[in-house]
């Protein structure tokens, strides 16, 4: 009788708590036991968190890169790929100031960029205009911005990529199938139990 009462106590508590009894309940002769090695059901896995890009103070996030790319493409429709250094400086300076005051995530810049003044931006652009033409290809600037965390590839790496791609111009799909030196430095560290964020 005590055995039955013990089992009823366990069952009653499960009903009151509105929870399932996961482990098997056993009555053998006069003994009542809870067999922890036998499960009536298996707990479902914890749902994974949504993919989320790791935020870094010195790197543009993907939405910010897309926003900046869209701005450059819009301007390039009337100016072409070559843009005056002065105009590029003013564009980036205005973007930084707007980011600081309005704080829209998509049009934001890395927080470390908020300290840049017009002089720092001008120096950065002039470094890309190594022939002193007064013009910079916005695609070159965009490439540097995208690869902020990566080092400059050496001659061997460039030769390897040229051999891998085979042609001077390839499609986006062909390019994405390749392996590059920046894959590790530009990737995003995911949260525990989260869907992988494919940044690279």
Q: What does pTM read for this prediction? A: 0.72
What span, in angstroms and rounded, lies between the C-alpha atoms of 54 and 61? 8
Three-class SS state of 33:
strand
Q: Is residue 85 part of a domain?
A: yes
Check the CA dihedral 76-82-86-90 and report its sign: positive
Confidence grade of residue 70 (pLDDT, cut at 50, 70, 90): very high
Q: Is residue 146 part of a domain?
A: yes
What span, in angstroms and rounded, lies between the C-alpha atoms of 79 and 75? 6
Helices (H) and strands (E) in the chain, counts: 7, 4
CATH code of the domain containing 118: 1.10.238
Identify whether the C-beta of residue 95 lies closer than 8 Å to the C-beta of residue 107.
yes
Residues 143 and 67 in one domain: yes
Residues 85 and 122 in one domain: yes
Q: Is residue 175 part of a domain?
A: no
Under 8 Å CB-to-CB from 30, ≥6 apart: which residues?
Answer: 2, 3
Q: Is residue 134 part of a domain?
A: yes
Residues 73 and 29 in one domain: no
- What is the tens place of the pLDDT at every residue in 150-187? 998 999 999 999 999 988 888 888 888 889 999 888 88
Residues 68 and 30 in one domain: no
């Amino acid at each position: 009788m005590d055995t039955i009462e013990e089992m009823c106590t366990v069952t009653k508590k499960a009903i009151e708590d509105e929870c399932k009894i996961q482990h098997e309940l056993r009555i053998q002769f006069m003994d009542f036991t809870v067999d922890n090695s036998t499960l009536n059901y298996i707990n479902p896995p914890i749902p994974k968190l949504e993919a989320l890009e790791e935020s870094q103070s010195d790197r543009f996030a993907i939405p910010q890169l897309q926003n900046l790319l869209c701005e450059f493409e819009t301007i390039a429709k009337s100016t072409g790929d070559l843009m005056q250094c002065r105009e590029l400086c003013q564009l980036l300076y205005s973007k930084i100031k707007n980011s600081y005051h309005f704080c829209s995530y998509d049009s934001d810049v890395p927080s470390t960029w908020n300290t840049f003044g017009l002089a720092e931006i001008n120096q950065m652009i002039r470094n890309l205009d190594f022939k002193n033409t007064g013009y910079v290809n916005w695609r070159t600037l965009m490439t540097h911005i995208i690869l902020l965390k990566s080092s400059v590839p050496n001659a061997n790496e460039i030769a390897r990529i040229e051999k891998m791609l085979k042609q001077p111009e390839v499609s986006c799909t062909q390019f994405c199938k390749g392996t590059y030196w920046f894959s590790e430095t530009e990737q995003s560290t995911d949260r525990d139990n989260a869907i992988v964020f494919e940044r690279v």
